[in-house]
């Protein structure tokens, strides 16, 4: 079976949590595509040129312990705005998406660019203040600064020339602002189950 679930949305909306839960529920492989960009950003911060960092990325680079930090997220957003970096990572993502047994990919351009043919497309979002609070709970620091960084990242992701963050025309919207994790997961799983039957 080849079956792709594309889950997009801004930072801290809950797409990673939902993606992992959907993959586990339906026995599908999972790829957090943001890790690809975080790993490239981390390599750039260590002195590599961005396109070279993307072209030579290995599976081991995705298991680094520092990829979930706020700094790694900011670095990811910066390298993701470079068209040549995105191009270097597209083929890997598309092969993963169409693997036998099915796959769930989460990111910012999965349903619009990477897998426009995905059988299910979800766009997971939440109010910036809600997302900033979630991120603050994860990383701590100054709450106002975290909110400013979330808004800055949203602006960069939504306004980049190449593959801006936006819902696919046929995406199912899930606003997690007032949903519990379980409620958000159930909405996503219901959408997937509907297409699998």
Binding residues for ATP: 9-17
76 within 8 A of 38, measured Cβ to Cβ: yes
DSSP E strand boundaries for 11-102: 29-32
Residues contributing to the annotated binding site: 9-17
Q: Which residue carries 């950003």 as its tokens?
A: 41
CB atoms inside a 10 Å sphere around CB 125: 20
From residue 66, alpha-carbon distances to 36, 41, 57, 72, 75 in Å are: 13, 11, 16, 7, 12
Going by their DSSP bridges, the two strands 120-125 and 29-32 should be labelled as: unpaired
2 CB-contact burial (10 Å; exposed 0-12 / middle 13-18 / buried 19+): exposed
Task: Give residues with Cβ within 8 angstroms of 55, minimum separation 6.
Answer: 88
């Amino acid at each position: 079976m080849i079956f792709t679930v594309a889950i997009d949305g801004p930072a801290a909306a809950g797409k990673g949590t939902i993606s992992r839960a959907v993959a586990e529920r339906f026995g599908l492989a999972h790829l957090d595509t943001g890790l690809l960009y975080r790993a490239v950003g981390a390599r750039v911060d260590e002195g590599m040129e961005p396109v070279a960092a993307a072209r030579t990325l290995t599976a081991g680079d995705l298991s680094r312990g520092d990829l979930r930090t706020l700094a790694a997220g900011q670095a990811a957003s910066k390298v993701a705005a470079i068209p040549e970096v995105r191009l270097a990572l597209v083929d890997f993502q598309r092969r993963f998406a169409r693997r036998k047994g099915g796959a769930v990919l989460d990111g910012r351009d999965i349903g619009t660019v990477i897998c426009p043919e995905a059988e299910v497309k979800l766009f997971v979002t939440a109010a910036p203040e809600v997302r900033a609070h979630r991120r603050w709970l994860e990383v701590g620091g100054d709450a106002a600064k975290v909110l400013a960084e979330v808004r800055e990242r949203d602006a960069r992701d939504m306004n980049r020339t190449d593959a801006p963050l936006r819902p696919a025309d046929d995406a199912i919207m899930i606003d997690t602002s007032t949903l519990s994790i379980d409620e958000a997961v159930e909405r996503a799983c219901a959408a997937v189950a509907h297409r699998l039957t």
